[in-house]
């Protein structure tokens, strides 16, 4: 048999490697997941994913309804209804686009729509800025969306597959957003292993809406007026689904490792050089890159600094995290977001970390918050070193502000 024929026949079974961006990696995941309905609307930086999807469809490499909507609100409403009718869906946005869709984002969890969205994190207007901030995705943190941050293209692809597996699990049926830092991840290329279709099929069952399917064979009424009679019970069901989410996430990562042979260790947060660390920094997304470089530099000078990168923000692995953080003399949380008027004027993640530590058993290390890298400003190695200094000061019990802006032009 000719070699070409063998390769053709084996195509579905072979893994490939490709040099692609974070956005492209997610588009490839959509292709592998055989997504049925995809809606697009332009806003930088997330829209690159839809440009790739468009090419896949035009080249006959992907079969889906690819709909260009007239605004983000419609973009999310279209896939919401498609999902209710049994379609696997994908959508996404950035910055003010995500906020424009807010009403549609709000209603999705209670409808138990397992929509997967990519957020190409971007600063909110005004003033206009293309760069990354995390306040867009964080705006839905209380509403029943599962939120995960990734920091490289491989992780983007893998997490998108895991996202479908988790969200479409009947025990969950909640929407899920994958946050990719604008530019730093959406637009930077890396070598990515693209798994074979065969493995993906083994990992990811078809979406089955079951008794919630909107179809003439199952003539249900979806989302009737609930009011004080039932709304509280419905909220409680959402709560219960979110409570089940960590278990389902763990199962999915374990299966992912078994089938694809790639492991992420603890799914909820990545620990970097923490085994012997005195202090740690924490953060989400691609700032991990300069933090890791800075840590390697500092370690040359004998400073034992570690890093904890949060992947899953919702559900938030509070117990596990607080147990892990007890090992350190102090914790510094880097927020690429803001929460004006919040306790200690900190960022969102800093507040969550303090919250996680408070009821936890044992020692509670002091937490210093940093606001850094807003509007896409680079988080530099000297920035990180400065933050580590402050965390050491906290460990020594020195008085200092609980929230510090780093890399700010004074």
In the complex, which residues of this chain contact other proteins (CB under 8 A)?
34, 36-37, 63-65, 67, 69-71, 73-74, 77-87, 103-104, 107, 206, 214-216, 218-227, 229-230
CB of 96 to other proteins, least distance (A): 17
Nearer to other proteins, 74 or 393 (CB): 74
Identify whether the C-beta of residue 201 lies closer than 8 Å to the C-beta of residue 280.
Answer: no
Question: CA 116 to CA 175: how far, in whole Å?
Answer: 6
The upper half-sphere exposure of residue 354, i.e. CA atoms within 13 Å in the direction of its Cβ, equals 18
Question: CA 252 to CA 161: how far, in whole Å?
Answer: 10
CA distances from 43 to 48, 141, 200, 333, 385 (A): 9, 22, 30, 29, 34
Nearer to other proteins, 21 or 39 (CB): 39
CB of 36 to other proteins, least distance (A): 5
Question: CA 53 to CA 32: how far, in whole Å?
Answer: 12
- What end-to-end distance do the CA atoms of the chain give, in Å? 71
Cα Rg of the chain, angstroms: 22
CB of 143 to other proteins, least distance (A): 14
Token pair belonging to 158: 């893998």
Phi, psi (5° rounding) for residue 401? -60, 145
Nearer to other proteins, 82 or 295 (CB): 82
Nearer to other proteins, 59 or 227 (CB): 227
CB of 186 to other proteins, least distance (A): 25
CB of 64 to other proteins, least distance (A): 6
Nearer to other proteins, 34 or 297 (CB): 34
CB of 208 to other proteins, least distance (A): 10
Those residues whose C-beta lies under 8 Å from the C-beta of residue 215, and which sit 6 or more positions away, are 85, 86
Identify whether the C-beta of residue 285 lies closer than 8 Å to the C-beta of residue 320.
Answer: no
DSSP readout, 253-275? HHHHHHHH----SSSSEEEES-T
Nearer to other proteins, 83 or 93 (CB): 83
Nearer to other proteins, 18 or 143 (CB): 143
CB of 233 to other proteins, least distance (A): 10
For the beta carbon of residue 410, count every other beta carbon within 10 angstroms: 3
């Amino acid at each position: 048999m000719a070699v070409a024929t063998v390769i053709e026949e084996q195509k579905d079974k072979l893994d490939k490697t490709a040099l692609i961006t974070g956005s492209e990696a997610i588009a490839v995941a959509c292709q592998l997941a055989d997504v049925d309905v995809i809606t697009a609307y332009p806003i930088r930086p997330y829209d690159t994913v839809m440009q790739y999807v468009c090419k896949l469809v035009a080249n006959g490499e992907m079969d889906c309804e690819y709909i260009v909507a007239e605004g983000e609100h419609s973009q999310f409403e279209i896939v919401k209804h498609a999902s209710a009718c049994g379609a696997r869906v994908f959508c996404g946005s950035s910055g003010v686009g995500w906020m424009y869709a807010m009403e549609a984002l709000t209603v999705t969890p209670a409808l138990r729509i397992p929509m997967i969205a990519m957020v190409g994190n971007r600063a909110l207007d005004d003033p206009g800025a293309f760069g990354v901030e995390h306040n867009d995705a964080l705006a839905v943190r209380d509403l029943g969306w599962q939120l995960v941050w990734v920091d490289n293209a491989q992780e983007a692809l893998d997490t998108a597959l895991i996202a479908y597996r988790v969200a479409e699990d009947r025990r969950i049926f909640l929407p899920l957003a994958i946050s990719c830092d604008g530019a730093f991840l959406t637009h930077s290329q890396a070598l990515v292993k693209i798994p074979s279709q065969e493995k993906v099929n083994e990992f990811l069952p078809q979406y089955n809406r079951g008794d919630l399917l909107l179809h003439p064979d199952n003539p249900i009424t979806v989302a009737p007026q609930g009011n004080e009679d039932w709304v509280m019970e419905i909220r409680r069901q959402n709560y219960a689904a979110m409570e089940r989410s960590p278990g389902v996430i763990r199962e999915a990562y374990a299966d992912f490792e078994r089938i694809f042979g790639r492991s992420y260790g603890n799914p909820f947060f990545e620990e970097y050089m923490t085994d012997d660390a005195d202090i740690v920094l924490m953060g989400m997304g691609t700032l991990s890159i300069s933090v890791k470089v800075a840590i390697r530099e500092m370690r040359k000078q004998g400073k034992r600094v570690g890093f904890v990168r949060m992947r899953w923000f919702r559900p938030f692995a509070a117990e596990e995290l607080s147990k892990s953080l007890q090992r350190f003399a102090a914790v510094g949380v880097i927020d690429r977001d803001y929460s004006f008027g919040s306790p200690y004027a900190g960022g969102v993640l800093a507040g969550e970390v303090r919250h996680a530590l408070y009821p936890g058993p044992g020692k509670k290390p002091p937490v210093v918050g940093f606001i850094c890298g807003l509007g896409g400003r680079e988080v530099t190695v000297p920035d990180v070193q400065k933050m580590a200094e402050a965390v050491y000061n906290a460990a020594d019990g020195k008085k200092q502000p609980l929230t510090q802006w780093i890399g700010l032009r004074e």
